Amino acid sequence: MIRTEAERQFYLGVAGVRMWYARDPLPGAAPSPEFDFSVSDTVAEPVAEAPVVQPAARQRKSGEKADGRDRDRINRLQALMDESRGPSESPVQTSAAEPDPVAEVAPPVNESLEPEPVSTQASHSETVPGKLILQAWAGDKILLLGCLSEDSSVSLQVALARNIMKALGEGQPEELAPLHWPLFNNSRIELNRSSHLIDLASEYLGDCTERSVVVLGDPGDWLSGAIAKLPDVAFPANLAKLAADPGLKRELWSRIRPLVDHRR
């Protein structure tokens, strides 16, 4: 039972009904009741007092008054439910037993062994020096390639290379600018691969097929791809080590002397 206007406004608001009241009395309209919103505790009481047990009690009463026919119908429905559950369980068991032959299949072992030789070949072909300074002296018949070292005097290494070319019979060789590698300090850049180094060195050296190539130092296996052949003389010591060791100079001279005799 709604006692106050506040309760009426509350239940109308719950139902989604918004009341509209005129500010001034309208002609011909019934007088509006006095609104009393001062009582706030009574608004929450009807919600708390709503009994939940009453519908359960009604259901109990209706259940007690039910005839035997309703009970028979319920028993029949339960029997149908039990029958429907019985055949549904059998395919589940068969489906669980089916994956057994699948577990017997083992992954082939030979597939993991095939990619290994490909990776080893790629590692040999992709060997690139971490840092390289290569300079060339080109004569009429001889091409001298020397690996420069930043730890020693560059002018001393260049002077030694010129003297070697004079000893080989090349009085006025063409001195090329040094070739620095890598092109970029960032190793993630794709232009630092061995293929790029071979292309760069081949353009730097030009055609070397008609010249005898003498290499001082160990630039790497990629050099044979840049000059399109194997070096005629490959000496492991670079110009800095040759300038500091007279014994290496004598050993080098014994290696390059056949080139001088061949020109004579």
**From first to last of its 264 residues, what are the pLDDT tens digits of the chain?**
677 777 877 888 888 887 776 677 778 777 666 555 555 554 445 555 555 555 554 555 555 555 666 777 777 767 766 665 555 444 444 444 454 554 455 555 454 444 444 333 333 344 667 789 999 999 999 999 999 999 999 999 999 999 999 999 998 999 999 999 888 877 777 777 888 889 999 999 998 888 999 999 999 889 999 999 999 999 999 999 999 999 999 999 999 999 987 766
Amino acid sitting at position 71: R
What is the pLDDT, as a whole number, of residue 124? 38
User: With a threshold of 0.75, does the pTM exceed it?
Assistant: no
What is the pLDDT, as a whole number, of residue 52? 54
Here the tokens at position 250 are 């004598």
3-state secondary structure of 236: coil
3-state secondary structure of 251: helix
DSSP class of residue 191 equals G
What is the pLDDT, as a whole number, of residue 128? 66
What is the pLDDT, as a whole number, of residue 186? 75
What is the pLDDT, as a whole number, of residue 68? 66
Q: Terminal CA-to-CA distance of the chain, rounded, Å?
A: 132
What is the pLDDT, as a whole number, of residue 50? 54
- Contacts for 164 with CB less than 8 Å, ≥ 6 apart: 144, 214, 216, 252, 256
d(CA 1, CA 201): 102
d(CA 128, CA 197): 8
d(CA 82, CA 74): 12
User: Which regions of 12-141 does DSSP assign to beta strands (E)?
Assistant: 132-138
Here the tokens at position 249 are 């100079």
| Pairing status of strand 212-216 against strand 142-147 | parallel
d(CA 137, CA 131): 20
